[in-house]
Chain A
Amino acid sequence: MNRVVITGVGAVTPVGNSVQSMWESLLAGRHGIGPITKFDCTDYKAKLAAEVKDFNPLEYMEKSESRRMDLYSQYGMAAACQAVKDSGIEGKVDSERFGVYFGSGIGGIQTFLNESEKMLKSGPRRVSPFFIPMMISNMAAGLIAIRFQAKGPCIDVTTACATGSTALGEAFRAVRHGYADVILAGGSEAAITTIGVAGFTNMTALSLSTDPDSASLPFDKRRSGFVMGEGAGALVVEEYEHARLRGAKIYAEVIGYGSTCDAHHMTAPDPEAKSSAKAIADALGECGDEKIYINAHGTGTPLNDVAETAAIKLALGDKISQTVVSSTKSMTGHMLGAAGAVEAIISALALDTGMVPPTVGLLEPDPDCDLDYVPCRARRVDAKIALSVSLGFGGHNACIGLRRMENE
């Protein structure tokens, strides 16, 4: 079996439209949450979101291309362009051995809304010929493959809030087993729309706080739901020898992937947490007494954070004493289908730099959430292993295991 490494990263997030600006924000503890600006939310109970700011698609595509891409695909293309550039992979991989595993939790929901309105107002003749290709959730993957002439396996993953992690994990497996040399993996989301906010609100999943500084509060006693985020994350996943021979910068080695299902409830996590614990344990595999960093799913919903804490304890056993955990959703909000990809990047950077970003706003600990969550301030941690946990509606549990790349 092949060894698999990460050789390029790209991100568009509520705390920065590049990996570097995102990382600076995260280490400084700066969140990206504010009043919703994308539409008039007067009649909505939820008032806050973690929106991407000052995104200019024309940095990554022609205007004529941007017209035929939903925002979720624009974010995805932007992150993919950054990751490919960062990796230096262009021209260094066989087209047929280059794949794309890229997903979205929801797809082009704004496009769906726009065209539904046209349909209801003016009839079926007015529905755009681009409605279907812009709306379907595989189109970011398809467009990225076209841009980089990646003719290997190209699939779309949709596992709700676990999408980014599932895409990355499946890409890891494909490279590990030799189906491709390089895969561009990740996820994107652009669902901060009228109907998206209304839907999540009525599930009672969202924080209704009006104070941006105390809205996304993972693991805090006061937490009341997540704050919707958006954006995209992309990683270049490469076979180790392929990367080594071309002298690529390696961020981290991917050492494991766990994929399980709660098979319990549409949206509520299984409080026993056995399946989510198994996903985490599978991603960790065997490990000695090295320091471990876990980037938690940590949404800030009352149910998630307790169940996830139980899962982490169950999976780690006595290794919990060598483990620190943080939820960067305290700063990025919940980027849904993009979350797992962005958080895998954050986990890799934590290994690469020796710095763990904090769980900001965590001031009132919950007795049922009793791990070391790196509250409020970034911390220097000499972690050798990182785990990025994602838990999606539908009971999807996906966890990625990374190991720091030592000089060999």
Chain B
Amino acid sequence: MVFEKLKAIIADHMDCAEEDITRETTFASLGIDSLDTVEMVMELEEELGMEIELEEKVETVGALADYIESKRG
């Protein structure tokens, strides 16, 4: 569920197709930098109604989705 939302946000921000984003896609390959990541996480916070503290660096879209999923409890 988080992965689907994340994919939609990334596609919107980076002007790319959702189909091109898989769990294994890296942020670097999409040209996403740390500022983009913070902004997208902020949008997810709004959508999920929770606060997300990114404590560790994540490389792939799947890893970020799993991380947020785990924090939802």
Contacts and interface: CB of A to CB of B under 8 A. Distances in A.
Interface of A: 62-64, 67-68, 125-126, 128-130, 133
Interface stretch (B1-9, B31-39, B65-73): B31-39
B33 to A, nearest CB: 10
B37 to A, nearest CB: 9
B13 interface: yes
Interface of B: 13-15, 31, 35, 38-39, 42, 45, 51
B39 A130 contact: yes
Given A125-B42, A125-B51, A126-B42, A62 B35 contact: no
A133 B35 CA distance: 10
Nearest to B34: A129
Given A125-B42, A125-B51, A126-B42, A64 B14 contact: yes
B44 to A, nearest CB: 13
Contacts of A64: 13-15, 31
A60 B35 CA distance: 22
Per CB-CB distance, the 10 closest pairs between chain A and chain B, nearest first, are A63-B15, A129-B38, A129-B35, A64-B14, A64-B15, A129-B39, A130-B35, A128-B39, A64-B13, A62-B15
A68 B42 CA distance: 15
A133 B39 CA distance: 13
A301 to B, nearest CB: 40
A62 B13 CA distance: 11
B42 A67 contact: no
Contacts of A62: 15
A62 B38 CA distance: 20
Contacts of A63: 15
Given A64-B31, A133-B35, 15 more contacts: A62-B15, A64-B13, A64-B15, A67-B13, A68-B35, A125-B42, A125-B45, A125-B51, A128-B39, A128-B42, A129-B35, A129-B38, A129-B39, A129-B42, A130-B35
Contacts of A128: 39, 42
B18 to A, nearest CB: 15
A126 B42 CA distance: 7
A133 B38 CA distance: 14
A62 B15 CA distance: 8
Contacts of A125: 42, 45, 51
20 contacts: A62-B15, A63-B15, A64-B13, A64-B14, A64-B15, A67-B13, A68-B35, A125-B42, A125-B45, A125-B51, A126-B42, A128-B39, A128-B42, A129-B35, A129-B38, A129-B39, A129-B42, A130-B35, A130-B39, A133-B35
